Chains A and B, each alone.
Chain A
Amino acid sequence: MKDLFAVIMLSGIYGLLSASFFVAMDAVDVAFTEAAVGAGISTLLMLVVITMTGRKEKPTRHKPISALFVVIITGGLLIYGTLDMPYFGAADAPIHNHTSPRYINDSMQEIGIPNIVTSVLASYRAFDTFGEVVVIFTAGIGVLAMLSVARRKEDEDDEIASINDSMHQQHLVIRIVAKMLIPFILLFALYVQFHGDFGPGGGFQAGVIFAAAIILYAMLFGLATARRVINQTFIQLIAAIGVLLYGCVGLVSLMNGGNFFDYNVLSSDPIAGQHLGILIIEWGVGCTVASVMVIIFFNFAGRRQFQSLKKQTKHTESSK
C-alpha cells in the first residue's frame, strides 16, 4: 500500500482492535494503555509527521532481498529459541510456580492495593518503571534537540495567530463541543490517575489522556493560543520534575535505611509507606508522560507551521 495516509488509518484501527482483544484476554490495564497510546496519541503524531513529509511513499531503489534474508534468518532463530519454552498456558511453566503466585497471594498483605498490576508496576518492579520514565523523558529531550524551532518575534506570532483564526472560523460547532469536553477529559484523566490503585489506570494512561486534551485544544484553537496557555519552558520543567520526583522517592528510601525504591521505610507503617510511595511515583510518571507528549506534539506541529510560513514568505517574495 503506497498511500501512507491509509496506512495510518489502518494502524489506528489496529490499535483499537488489539486493545479489544486485550480486553477479551482480561488484561485491562494493557488495554487501557493501548487505547490511549496506540489508537490515540501515536496516530496523531504520525499524522503530523506525514503532513510534513508528504503522503506518498517514495519508490525504493535498492533491492530488499538481503534485508529479507536477514529477517528470515533472525526470525527462524527466534522461533527456534521459543521451542525450548514451555507451551502457552501450560500449568507447570516456571512463571506459574514462583513469581505469579507470590504476587497474587502476598501483594494484598505487603502492599494493600486491590489492583495487582499497579502494585507490580509501581512497587515490585519500580526500577523497571523508572527506566521506562527515563526513556520517555529521553525521547522528549531528543525531539527538543532535533526539532525545536528558535523563538520567533512577536509580530510573526501574531501573524500565525491570525492565519489560524481565519482557518478555524469554519470550525465553530466543533470548537464549542470541544470546549464542553475538555474539562471533562481533564477530570477523567485525574480520575484515572488516582483510581489506578483500585481499577485499571495509573500514571501512564492518565498522562496520555491529559496530554490528549491539551493536544485537542491546540488543534482546534491554534498552536499560538495553546502556547500562550501552556508555556514551553514551564512544560519542560514539569517533565524534568516528574523524573526527579520519581528518583527522589528512591533516594529518600535509601536514606531511611531501605533499598532503592523500598517504600516500606517511607512511613512508620509499611503499608502506609507503600501507599505513599506508589502515590508519589504515579504522580511523577503522570507529570512526565503528559508533558513529554505535549512537548513532542508542540515541536512537531510548530516545525510544520514554521515550514509553511517559510514557504509562504518565499512565495510572496517571488510574486513580488
Chain B
Amino acid sequence: MLIAATLAIFVTMILAIVRGITGPTLYDRILAVNMFGTKTVLLIALLGFVMGRPEFLDIAIVYALINFISVIGVLRYSDTDQFNHTPPQNEQTEKER
C-alpha cells in the first residue's frame, strides 16, 4: 500500500515536471515547482515509512520550509519590471491618451 502510494506520488511529480518544462507563462512554472516541492515532502515521508527509517521526517520538514521560502523569493523578485507580463509603458501611454 505504501509502495503504491509512493508510485502514485512519483507519477504526479513527473506530471509536474512536464508542466514545468512546457509551461507557457512564468507562473505556470512557479506553480509546477511549488507542487513538485509539496509532492517531494510527501514522497520523503512515505519513503521513510517504506524503508522503516522515520528520521527522514526531519528532511520533509526542511523541504516544506525551503519550498515556501523559495516560492516567496521567486514571487518577490518576479515583481520587478522586467518580469511583468504586460510592460508598464503601455498603461502609461494609454492613460496619456
Q: Do chains A and B touch in the complex (CB under 8 A)?
A: yes
**What is the interface of chain A, defined by CB distance below 8 A to chain B?**
5-6, 9-10, 12-13, 16-17, 19-20, 23-24, 26, 28, 31-32, 35-36, 39-40, 43-44, 47-48, 51, 54-55, 167, 174, 178, 181, 185, 188, 192, 195, 199-201, 205, 209, 212-213, 215-216, 219-220, 308
Q: For the complex, what is the distance from the CA of A20 to the CA of B33, rounded to whole Å?
A: 14
Nearest 4 CB-CB pairings of A with B: A40-B66, A44-B73, A9-B29, A219-B76
Q: Is the interface of B mostly helix, strand, loop or mixed?
A: helix
Q: What number of A-B contacts does a CB cutoff of 8 Å give?
A: 117
The listed residue with most A CB atoms (<10 A of its CB), out of B66, B68, B78, is: B66
Partner of A205 from the list B53, B62, B78, B83 (CB cut-off 8 Å) is B62
Interfacial chain A residues near B83, Cβ < 8 Å:
5, 51, 55
Distance in Å from the Cβ of B65 to the closest Cβ of chain A?
6
B51 at the interface (CB under 8 A from A): yes
Partner of B82 from the list A20, A51, A199, A205 (CB cut-off 8 Å) is A51
- CB pair A31 B59 closer than 8 Å: yes
Interfacial chain A residues near B70, Cβ < 8 Å:
12, 39-40, 43-44
Residues of B25-74 at the interface with A, using a CB-CB cut-off of 8 Å, are 26, 29-30, 32-33, 36-37, 40, 43-44, 47, 51, 53, 55-56, 58-59, 61-63, 65-70, 72-74
- CB pair B65 A23 closer than 8 Å: no
Interfacial chain B residues near A185, Cβ < 8 Å:
65
Nearest opposing residue in chain B for A9, CB measure: B29
B21 at the interface (CB under 8 A from A): yes
* A220-B63 contact given A6-B29, A9-B30, A16-B37, CB 8 Å threshold: no
Contacts A19-B59, A35-B66, A54-B82 given; 12 further ones with Cβ under 8 A? A9-B33, A16-B37, A23-B44, A35-B59, A39-B63, A44-B73, A55-B82, A55-B83, A188-B65, A192-B62, A200-B58, A219-B72
Q: For the complex, what is the distance from the CA of A54 to the CA of B81, rounded to whole Å?
A: 11
Q: For the complex, what is the distance from the CA of A114 to the CA of B61, rounded to whole Å?
A: 22
Q: For the complex, what is the distance from the CA of A13 to the CA of B79, rounded to whole Å?
A: 21
Distance in Å from the Cβ of B55 to the closest Cβ of chain A?
5
Q: For the complex, what is the distance from the CA of A219 to the CA of B78, rounded to whole Å?
A: 12
Q: For the complex, what is the distance from the CA of A220 to the CA of B68, rounded to whole Å?
A: 13
Distance in Å from the Cβ of A299 to the closest Cβ of chain B?
15
* A32-B58 contact given A12-B70, A24-B47, A212-B66, CB 8 Å threshold: yes
Q: For the complex, what is the distance from the CA of A47 to the CA of B70, rounded to whole Å?
A: 10
Interfacial chain B residues near A44, Cβ < 8 Å:
69-70, 73
Distance in Å from the Cβ of A163 to the closest Cβ of chain B?
12
- CB pair B55 A200 closer than 8 Å: yes
Partner of A47 from the list B40, B51, B77, B82 (CB cut-off 8 Å) is B77
**CB-defined A-B contacts under 8 Å, sample of 23:** A5-B26, A5-B29, A5-B78, A5-B83, A6-B29, A9-B29, A9-B74, A10-B21, A16-B40, A20-B43, A20-B47, A26-B51, A26-B53, A28-B59, A32-B62, A35-B66, A39-B66, A40-B69, A44-B73, A55-B83, A167-B79, A185-B65, A220-B76
Q: For the complex, what is the distance from the CA of A150 to the CA of B20, rounded to whole Å?
A: 40
Partner of B73 from the list A31, A54, A219 (CB cut-off 8 Å) is A219
Q: For the complex, what is the distance from the CA of A10 to the CA of B56, rounded to whole Å?
A: 24
Q: For the complex, what is the distance from the CA of A198 to the CA of B14, rounded to whole Å?
A: 34
The listed residue with most B CB atoms (<10 A of its CB), out of A199, A205, A215, is: A199
Q: For the complex, what is the distance from the CA of A32 to the CA of B59, rounded to whole Å?
A: 6
Interfacial chain A residues near B78, Cβ < 8 Å:
5
Nearest opposing residue in chain A for B29, CB measure: A9
